[in-house]
């Protein structure tokens, strides 16, 4: 048994299972929900097996077709990809379970194949070690995300989906042109080989600029965030959860890989400062707009814009503690933001709208949902004990250690803004309104999944040493000082 | 290097015989050869410059044109000129794919969308109101042309700073071509060395169809009945296209061609049939046709699972069976691509269309 | 300047033209055309520079990348066109309303 787990290529299962699941959901729509649930279970088990394999035998690469790079494509399985795959599996499971209750039947039939393809695309992206393969995975992710956004069919959803589509296509095209320049300079598309070959040159400047701009657009860094709030606000709640929690992280992951492996270290300083400045702007702008938002999902979407600003603060800091901090932030934000969107979905299911001032004693009617939202808010604010707190602590520590204290200042201001808008929502949940509307009972399953995700993000704050240790598999950086 | 000259020798009988005389490294011959090469270079230069300018002009005119129909037609012409450029750059496989998919099917999709656009606008007749705020805010989106010129100049500088000669990965491909099971290096890369990219790409096409079908249905629009010319043309062309697709599929192993070109040709046949008035009934969204639609992705996944279960690397071919396996996967892909492209041209899900 | 560099510069020009049109033109169909022109530009750079191998056949890996790219582009175009038609059905206009005020 031990031998099977440590030698079987679990990463391949993670990619093939959702693809196979998507095909079967398309062929047999009547049993789609069971097929989807089994696929997601298989994914979760595979991630666990992959984790066991990585922890016992260390990181490794899988040469597809038996052809090693640079001729073939290689899959990278190391600590960083393991953590991204893990959070995708957990959030994916929660959203799958939640969706069985959320969607009306007709939409549900169209949801399953698209959703499983999105999961497959994300898994393929997190495992890929080849620049062009990453482009195809990014396109697959983007198209699936847009199709899911447009699923509710309303006017706002369609318009925001179209804007999202153009943004994602522009981002991919820019990224691809960068890949073209790098391939024709250094003769390989493989990340590990390029890590050894890339040297400073004007072509690398252009390629860096193009790829960073494209990926920053896909990650919605201020001022390229314009497409995100309408898209995440008008998509169906489980889709918004997936978009904010996972899809936005995918392009950031690619940028991080490129930054750490491919871009030559001497050339990245200026770009890092630019990212830091834009991150601070994102924190202020996102926080301001979240406070002004009248609808809950729009507020949560602007919160994502703000948190993306945090992610980009790691680039000017560029030290191990900062990377560990931002990766931990990726994980805890994914769990907390998904929980928030699922809670918002519950409220919409219950009262038919998400206008914050018109909440009618949600605290009494949906106590579990409110608890989920509040717990998720704790992580977003960065209060102990939560994953968000550990992450922010690591980043503040890095910022003070390197003498660039102004980033710590931005982090703290951001936390204050987050506290303000979380309390705004929680406060309105206790109030009454004069206008009473129709209410629907929310299935218990939906409330439980939201709460479970929120609890997981708190849990990340209590068991920080394990994930941080797993990040070190593959030797990209050490989180020793953090533990 | 051997140089051959045209010669005319006078025979004893008084007549002259034309022939060729070949000798190595003849000085005079070098001079003539240089002149020939110079003339050839000059014509190449003229051709390349004209083609390059033509591409830029067609693209500009297509994007700047005031009428949508003109824009689309110019875009199709741009696609055809691109195909010529691919041939010039020794990329014949891409030229076939560009003509079939890039200029052909994309052009058909665009024209169909334009036709449906006017139909939908008249059918819904929603009042188009434009508030003054819209107009003012629109100016914010105008990206300064100067910034764009800067970006273009930077990119041009980077491109010009690349070395003039570079083998890229052609050496590795050449060295492993025999073990790949096919003779065409592009097919070898697409289906064997980087077959995983092809797997994901086939799913992208499937995803596009899923996306289009999930968007729901449009108001019904009137289709002009096909005239006698179109009917005759379709009767002649559709079987020809199917034969051509089979040829591309077979020839792709050793020459230009392959699954994508073949699939696009099949898709073109499907588009022609629809233009002649044939409409897919609701049965096309049921199981047997769904299986054909999924033939490409399904065969790829089944093969991938097979390699996984037998302990090999993902998508690993045993060298002696590689050729036949590649042909099998390409056949599935051809059917899928053809049916998917034809379905994308139709637009809505066939049972949605029927249920109206 | 060699043939390859000439066509690569044309590709850069096409990319820039498409980028400009994507921002400036408001009609959705024109934006879709602009995206297609941009991708053609990227492919042209890719294939033109692949011919720098000298007297032998060009590098086949960029050719495979471009074929993949063409299929991805047609998939995105088909989906974008349907989305555009649905937007016209809902709003009556083939344009994105400005949301700068959001």
DSSP category for residue B189 = I
pLDDT at C101: 32
Question: Is position A34 within any domain?
Answer: no
> What domain range is B220 assigned to?
181-356
Fold classified for C3-91: Helix Hairpins (1.10.287)
pLDDT per residue as tens digits for the range A274-304 = 999 999 999 999 999 999 988 999 999 999 9
Provide the H-helix boundaries in chain B: 27-64, 68-88, 92-97, 106-124, 132-138, 145-160, 170-180, 185-188, 195-214, 228-251, 259-275, 287-293, 295-309, 322-346, 350-355
Q: What is the overall mean pLDDT for chain A? A: 91
For C41-58, the pLDDT digits (tens) are 999 999 999 999 887 889
One domain for residues B208 and B352: yes
Beta bridge partners of B22: B4
Chain B residues in contact with A66 by the CB 8 A cut-off are 312-313, 316
Q: In chain B, positions 104-163, which contact chain A (CB-CB < 8 Å)? A: 154-155, 157-159, 161-162
DSSP element (H, E) containing A61: strand A60-63
- What's the gap in Å between the CA of C39 and the closest CA on chain A? 7
Contacts of C68 in chain A (CB under 8 A): 132, 136
Contact between chains at A27 and B193 (C-beta distance less than 8 A): no
Residue of C nearest to A177 (CA): C42
Number of domains in chain A: 1
Whether A417 is covered by a domain: the verdict is yes
pLDDT given at position A99: 93
Distance from CA of B7 to the nearest CA of A (A): 46
Which chain A residues are Cβ-neighbours of B192 within 8 angstroms?
A: 65, 67
Q: Report the number of distinct structural domains present in chain B.
A: 2
Residues of chain A with pLDDT under 50: none
Q: Give the Cβ contact number of residue C14 at 10 Å.
A: 27
The backbone region for B355, taken as left when phi is positive above 0, alpha when psi lies in -120 to 50, beta otherwise, is alpha
Instruction: Please state, as a whole number, how many other Cβ atoms lie within 10 Å of the Cβ of residue B188.
Output: 26
CB–CB contact C42 A170 (8 Å): no
The Cα diameter of chain C in Å comes to: 58
Name the neighbours of C, counting chains with at least 3 Cβ pairs within 8 A. Answer: A, B
Angle of helix B228-251 relative to helix B259-275, nearest 10 degrees, comes to: 170
Q: Which of C46, C97, C99 sits opposite A180 (nearest CB)?
A: C46
Q: Same structural domain for residues B187 and B299?
A: yes
Is this prediction's ipTM beyond 0.85? Answer: yes
Inspect the interface and report whether the beta carbons of C27 and B68 lie closer than 8 Å: yes
Q: Best of A30, A71, A139 to disrupt the B interface by mutation (most B CBs within 10 Å)? A: A71
In this structure, are B66 and B213 located in the same domain?
A: no
Cβ–Cβ contact C34 with B under 8 A: yes
pLDDT at residue B31 in the model: 56
What's the CA gap between C64 and C47, in Å, rounded? 10
Among the listed residues A255, A261, A262, A162, the one whose alpha carbon sits nearest the alpha carbon of residue A213: A255
**Which of the residues B1, B40, B43, B55 would you substitute to probe the C interface, choosing the one with the greatest number of C C-beta atoms within 10 Å?**
B55
The answer to whether residue A175 is domain-embedded is no
Residues B103 and B186 occupy one common structural domain: no
Q: Look at residue B254 and tell me if it is in a domain.
A: yes
Question: Which residue of chain B comes nearest to A106, CA vs CA?
Answer: B214
Q: Is residue A410 part of a domain?
A: yes
Helix orientation angle between A10-27 and B195-214, rounded to the nearest 10 degrees: 30
From chain C, pick out residues whose CB is under 8 angstroms from the CB of B134.
97-98
The answer to whether A361 touches A346, Cβ cutoff 8 Å, is: no
User: Which other chains touch chain A, taking contact as 3+ CB pairs less than 8 Å apart?
Assistant: B, C
Task: Round to whole Å and give the CA distance between B292 and B290.
Answer: 5
Mind listing the pLDDT tens digit for each residue in A260-276?
999 988 888 889 999 99
Q: How many residue pairs bridge chain A and chain C with CB atoms within 8 Å of each other?
A: 78
Whether residue A180 and residue C39 make contact (CB cut-off 8 A), yes or no, is: no
Inspect the interface and report whether the beta carbons of C85 and B218 lie closer than 8 Å: yes
pLDDT at residue A109 in the model? 86
Determine the 3-state secondary structure of B22 from DSSP. Answer: strand
How does pLDDT run across C18-48, given as a tens digit for each residue? 999 998 888 999 999 999 999 999 999 999 9
What pLDDT is stored for residue B136 in this prediction? 42
* A358 vs A353: CA distance, rounded Å: 9
* Cβ burial A128-152 (10 Å sphere, 16+ → b, else e): bbbbbbbbbbbbbbbbbbbbbbbbb
Q: How far is A177 from chain C (nearest CA, A)?
A: 6
Q: Quickly tell me which residue has 């800091």 as its tokens.
A: A317
Domain membership of residue A452 (yes or no) is yes
Note the pLDDT of residue B61: 96
Which structural domain, as residue segments, surrounds residue A356? 277-483
Token pair, residue B90, equals 């020794």
pLDDT in tens, chain B (356 residues): 455 555 555 554 545 455 555 655 555 555 556 666 677 788 999 999 999 999 999 999 999 998 999 999 999 999 999 999 999 999 999 999 999 999 999 999 999 999 998 888 777 655 444 444 444 444 544 557 888 889 999 999 999 999 888 888 999 999 999 888 899 999 999 999 999 999 999 999 999 999 999 998 888 777 778 889 988 999 999 999 999 999 999 999 999 999 999 999 999 999 999 988 888 777 777 888 889 999 999 999 999 999 998 888 999 998 888 999 999 999 999 999 999 999 999 988 877 655 44
Is residue A160 included in any domain, yes or no? no
pTM of the model: 0.93
Which pLDDT does position A104 carry in this prediction? 82
Interface mutation vs chain C, best among B40, B49, B170, most C CBs within 10 Å: B170
Whether B176 is covered by a domain: the verdict is no
Q: Of A152, A186, A150, A183, nearest to A168 (Cα)?
A: A150
Taking the Cβ of residue A74 and every Cβ of chain C, the question of whether any pair is shorter than 8 Å is answered with no
Look at residue A27 and tell me if it is in a domain.
Answer: no
């Amino acid at each position: 048994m031990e031998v099977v787990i440590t030698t079987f290529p679990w990463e391949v299962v993670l990619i093939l299972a959702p693809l196979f699941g998507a095909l079967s959901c398309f062929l047999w729509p009547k049993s789609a929900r069971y097929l989807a649930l089994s696929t997601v279970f298989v994914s979760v088990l595979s991630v666990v097996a992959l984790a066991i394999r990585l922890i016992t035998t260390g990181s490794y690469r899988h040469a597809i077709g038996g052809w090693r790079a640079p001729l073939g494509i290689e899959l990278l399985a190391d600590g960083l990809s393991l953590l991204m795959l893990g959070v995708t599996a957990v959030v994916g499971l929660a959203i799958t379970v939640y969706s069985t209750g959320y969607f009306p039947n007709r939409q549900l039939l169209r949801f399953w194949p698209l959703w499983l393809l999105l999961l497959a695309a994300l898994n393929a992206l997190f495992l890929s070690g080849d620049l062009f393969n990453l482009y195809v995975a990014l396109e697959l992710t983007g198209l699936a995300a847009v199709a899911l956004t447009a699923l509710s069919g309303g006017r706002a959803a369609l318009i925001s989906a179209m804007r999202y589509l153009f943004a994602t296509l522009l981002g991919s095209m820019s990224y691809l042109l960068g890949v073209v320049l790098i391939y024709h300079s250094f003769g390989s598309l493989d990340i590990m080989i390029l890590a050894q070959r890339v040297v400073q040159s004007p072509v690398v400047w252009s390629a860096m600029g193009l790829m960073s701009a494209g990926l920053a657009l896909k990650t919605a860094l201020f001022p390229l965030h314009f497409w995100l709030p309408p898209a995440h606000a008008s998509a169906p709640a489980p889709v918004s959860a997936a978009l904010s929690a996972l899809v936005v992280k995918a392009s950031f992951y690619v940028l991080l890989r490129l930054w750490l492996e491919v871009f030559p270290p001497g050339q990245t300083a200026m770009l890092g400062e630019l990212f830091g400045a834009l991150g601070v702007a994102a924190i202020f702008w996102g926080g301001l707009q979240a406070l002004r938002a009248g609808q809950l999902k729009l507020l949560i979407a602007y919160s994502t814009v703000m948190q993306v600003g945090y992610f980009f603060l790691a680039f000017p800091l560029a030290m191990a503690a900062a990377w560990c901090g931002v990766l931990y932030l990726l994980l805890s934000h994914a769990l907390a933001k998904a929980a928030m969107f699922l809670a918002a979905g519950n409220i919409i299911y219950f009262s038919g709208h998400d206008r914050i001032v018109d909440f009618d004693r949600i605290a009494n009617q949906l106590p579990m949902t409110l608890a989920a939202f509040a717990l998720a808010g704790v992580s977003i604010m960065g209060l102990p004990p939560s994953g968000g707190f550990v992450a922010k602590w690591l980043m503040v520590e890095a910022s003070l250690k390197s003498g660039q204290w102004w980033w710590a200042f931005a982090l703290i201001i951001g936390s204050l803004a987050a506290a303000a808008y979380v309390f705004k929502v929680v406060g309105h949940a206790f109030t009454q309104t004069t206008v009473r509307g129709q209410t629907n009972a929310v299935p218990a399953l939906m409330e439980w999944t939201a709460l479970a995700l929120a609890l997981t993000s708190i849990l990340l704050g209590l068991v920080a040493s394990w994930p941080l240790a797993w990040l070190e598999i593959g030797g990209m950086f050490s989180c020793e000082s953090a533990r | 290097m051997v140089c051959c000259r045209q010669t005319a020798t006078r025979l004893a009988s008084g007549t002259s015989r034309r022939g060729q005389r070949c000798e190595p490294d003849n000085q005079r011959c070098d001079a003539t050869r240089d002149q020939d090469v110079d003339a050839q270079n000059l014509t190449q230069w003229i051709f390349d410059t004209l083609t390059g300018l033509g591409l830029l002009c067609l693209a500009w005119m297509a994007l700047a044109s005031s009428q949508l129909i003109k824009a689309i037609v110019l875009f199709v012409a741009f696609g055809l000129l691109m195909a010529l450029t691919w041939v010039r750059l020794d990329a014949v496989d891409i030229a076939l794919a560009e003509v079939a998919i890039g200029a052909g099917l994309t052009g058909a999709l665009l024209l169909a969308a334009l036709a449906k656009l006017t139909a939908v606008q008249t059918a819904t007749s929603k009042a188009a109101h434009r508030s003054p705020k819209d107009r003012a805010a629109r100016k914010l989106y105008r990206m300064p042309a100067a910034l764009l010129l800067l970006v273009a100049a930077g990119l041009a500088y980077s491109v010009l700073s690349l070395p003039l000669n570079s083998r890229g990965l052609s050496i590795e491909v050449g060295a492993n071509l025999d073990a790949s099971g096919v003779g065409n290096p592009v097919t070898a890369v697409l289906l064997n060395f980087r077959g995983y990219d092809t797997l994901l790409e086939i799913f992208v096409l499937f995803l596009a169809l899923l996306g289009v079908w999930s968007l729901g249905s449009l108001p019904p629009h009137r289709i002009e009945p096909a005239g006698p010319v179109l009917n005759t043309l379709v009767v002649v062309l559709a079987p020809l296209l199917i034969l051509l697709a089979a040829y591309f599929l077979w020839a792709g192993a050793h020459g230009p061609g392959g699954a994508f070109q073949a699939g696009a040709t099949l898709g073109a046949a499907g588009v022609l049939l629809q233009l002649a008035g044939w409409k897919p009934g609701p049965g096309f969204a049921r199981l047997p046709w769904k299986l054909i639609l999924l033939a490409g992705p399904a065969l790829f996944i089944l093969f991938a699972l097979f390699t996984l279960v037998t302990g090999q690397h993902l998508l690993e071919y045993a060298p002696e069976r590689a050729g036949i396996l590649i042909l099998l996967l390409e056949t599935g892909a051809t059917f899928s691509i053809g049916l998917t492209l034809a379905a994308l041209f139709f637009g809505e899900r066939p049972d949605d269309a029927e249920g109206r | 300047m060699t043939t390859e560099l000439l066509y690569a510069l044309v590709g850069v020009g096409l990319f820039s033209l498409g980028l400009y049109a994507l921002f400036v033109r408001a009609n959705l169909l024109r934006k879709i055309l602009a995206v297609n022109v941009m991708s053609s530009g990227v492919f042209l750079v890719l294939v033109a520079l692949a011919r720098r191998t000298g007297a032998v056949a060009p590098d086949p890996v960029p050719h495979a990348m471009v074929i993949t790219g063409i299929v991805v582009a047609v998939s995105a175009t088909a989906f974008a066109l349907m989305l555009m038609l649905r937007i016209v059905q809902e709003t009556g206009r083939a344009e994105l309303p400005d949301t700068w005020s959001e």
